[in-house]
Amino acid sequence: MAVRTLDLPDWAIGAGFVRAPVWDHLSKKTSRTPIDDIDVLFFDPADLSKEREKHLEKKLRKARPDIPWSVKNQARMHFRNNNHAYENTEDAMRYWLETPTAVAVRLEADNRLTVLAPFGLDDLFQMILRPTPEGARKMDQFEDRIKNKPWLEHWPDLRIEKAPAVSR
């Protein structure tokens, strides 16, 4: 609810916020796996400033100081990633490295849940860690994430597949 009150364009919360509880449930864990941050995504080409993101994080910390917020305007992330300009939040997610990370949700004004999943949900629900096409192009970064993230410690049933996903 805190994010929805910001009234951001094309927003969602994704990555570990979605992935970790799904994998915890599928693994029958009795407690939630901690995540490093809550990734808030939005798409606004009218204001690409990092200052706006920091201001939004500050507002969210004031509303919910117990949550480690990370707010990123996906309209500027193509600069950092050296890609062409993204069209919207879901298009930006196509350039993330792993398929089960490229899932986000938005709580709409009428309390419906919108799911953004450019590679579908199968890998998430089957506990498969697979590179996106971008992850396949940056296989060294994909493999570094596998090595540096405690995913296999938290979810030993996780399967790693190196064949890239197909965009939907």
What digits encode the pLDDT tens for the residues 73-91? 999 999 888 889 999 999 9
The predicted model scores a pTM of 0.92
- Residue 168 scores a pLDDT above 70: no
Higher-confidence position of 165 and 44: 44
Q: Give the C-alpha separation, 82 to 138, whole Å.
A: 12
| C-alpha span between 70 and 127 (Å, rounded) | 25
> Phi/psi zone of residue 71: left (φ > 0), alpha (ψ -120 to 50 degrees), beta?
beta
The domain segmentation of the chain, as residue ranges, is 4-160
For domain 4-160, the CATH class is alpha beta
